Amino acid sequence: MAQKKEIEIDEKNKTKRQEILELLQDGPLSVKEISRILRITEVETLSHLDHIKKTLSRSNYILDVIPALCKNCGFIFKKRERLKKPGKCPMCKSTFVAPQIFTLKKR
C-alpha cells in the first residue's frame, strides 16, 4: 500500500472555502462582510457557504445561521432554508431586512 502524504497548506495555497471557514471561526459575519474581506462576489460567497454547510455535516462543526430580521416590523425568518438574504418581509412587505449572520459552532 502506498503511504498517503499529509499536505501542509500554506497561506498562499488556501482555497476560498478554507479562508471562509477561518473567518467564521473568528466570529459571526454576513455574506456581504465575507465577500468584502475575501474580495469575491456575494453570489460566489453564497455558493461557497452552501457547499461548506453540506461538507460540515461530516465534521464536528455546523454552520450556524442567525436568521434574517425585518427591521420594520421585527419578523424573524426562522424557517428559511436558503442562505440568500430575503428580498422582503412576508408580514409587512418591507424591503428593509437585516441579513443572516453565519458562524461556526461545535456539535
> Which residues form the domain of 64?
15-106
Position 7 pLDDT exceeds 80: no
Residue-level pLDDT at 3: 45
34-50 confidence digits (pLDDT tens): 999 999 999 999 999 99
7 belongs to a structural domain: no
Query: Which grid coordinates belong to 11?
Result: 497561506
Average pLDDT over the chain, rounded to an integer: 89
DSSP secondary-structure letter at 56? G
Position 70 pLDDT exceeds 80: yes
* Residues 45/48/49/55 CA torsion (nearest 10 deg): -170
66 belongs to a structural domain: yes
6 belongs to a structural domain: no
pTM score, whole prediction: 0.81
Report the DSSP beta bridge partners of residue 70.
97
Query: How many structural domains is the chain composed of?
Result: 1
Position 21 pLDDT exceeds 80: yes
Phi/psi-derived region of residue 42, left when phi > 0, alpha when psi is between -120 and 50, beta in every other case: alpha
41 belongs to a structural domain: yes
Tell me the CATH number at 28.
1.10.10
Cβ atoms of 51 and 63 within 8 Å: the answer is no
